[in-house]
A = this chain, B = another copy of it.
């Protein structure tokens, strides 16, 4: 009756390493009245979690050293003392990196098991998909024929952003870090895709790919790519600032060309956001995204790692640019399957 868990061993300085994590074996708990025992099926590893490993003030509180790391999980109810969550129910929620967890049901969302794959609720129908949906449609608001640039375009968020922008009739340009990812973006319908690692001059490549300038920029990455996009902004451009993965492991504030003059000259708008700002509209987002998935207009790739013990490696892989689409760890098969 073991129950492995992964704790934050120490706060990383710069890039996290395997030593950032510590495995511990705990007792498998028994639910009391009003509780369920959840078996972890899929664990989501996401770039934003790097931020929670530091103790800097941010939009979510930091992880505690010596406590389990937590994040997006799909789990199955395997024991229940809860009136509404029967054994066999599959749920998604923010849960510890742990094989079995207790919950009183708060913050859990049951997911249908007769529709899209349940792992999609950590991806295109979960936080990454909703991030793409609200960031693109509420902040960037692309119009037909406008040019949308997406950085980190082959990731879980970026790949959805690009497809939604195509659905809205925009010209879409993506950046990614390998030729395989570039090929994947072309398959998804991106008009242009740039391998930023092999392009000798990212500014020129972006300028060539955006002959009519840039109206919308959905930024997951920051750094040089973002600097180059700022030089291409059209008047009244809209920038959704979603992530800055190129800087997450920096030990001090990175320095770069000041963007303000460029944003000023073009009357551009830049909005930082986190998907939870839109929590009230999640049902709308899930409904719309599900529809596009079911219509085949929105496809979604997942990179699976297998086994609970591989969670740290899957997380570290995010910063090596190893995954296409959503990085997930498959921990167990559903009992009810």
Contact = CB atoms under 8 A, between A and B. Distances in A.
Interface of A: 51, 57-59, 219, 222-223, 226, 235, 241-244, 247, 253-261, 263-274, 277
A264 B235 contact: no
A260 B256 CA distance: 11
Contacts of A242: 264
Contacts of A247: 258, 260-261
Quick one: which of A59, A235, A261, A274 has the most chain B CB within 10 A? A261
A254 B259 CA distance: 9
A269 B271 CA distance: 4
A274 B267 contact: yes
A257 B254 contact: yes
Nearest to A247: B261
Given A255-B256, A258-B256, A272-B269, A241 B222 contact: no
Contacts of A241: 260, 263-264
Nearest to A241: B264
B277 A272 contact: no
A244 B264 contact: yes
A258 B254 contact: yes
Contacts of A255: 255-258
A264 B243 CA distance: 7
Nearest to A259: B259
Contact of A258 (B57, B222, B235, B270): B222
8 tightest Cβ-Cβ pairs between the two chains A and B = A263-B272, A264-B272, A253-B257, A270-B270, A269-B271, A256-B258, A58-B265, A254-B258
A267 B59 contact: yes
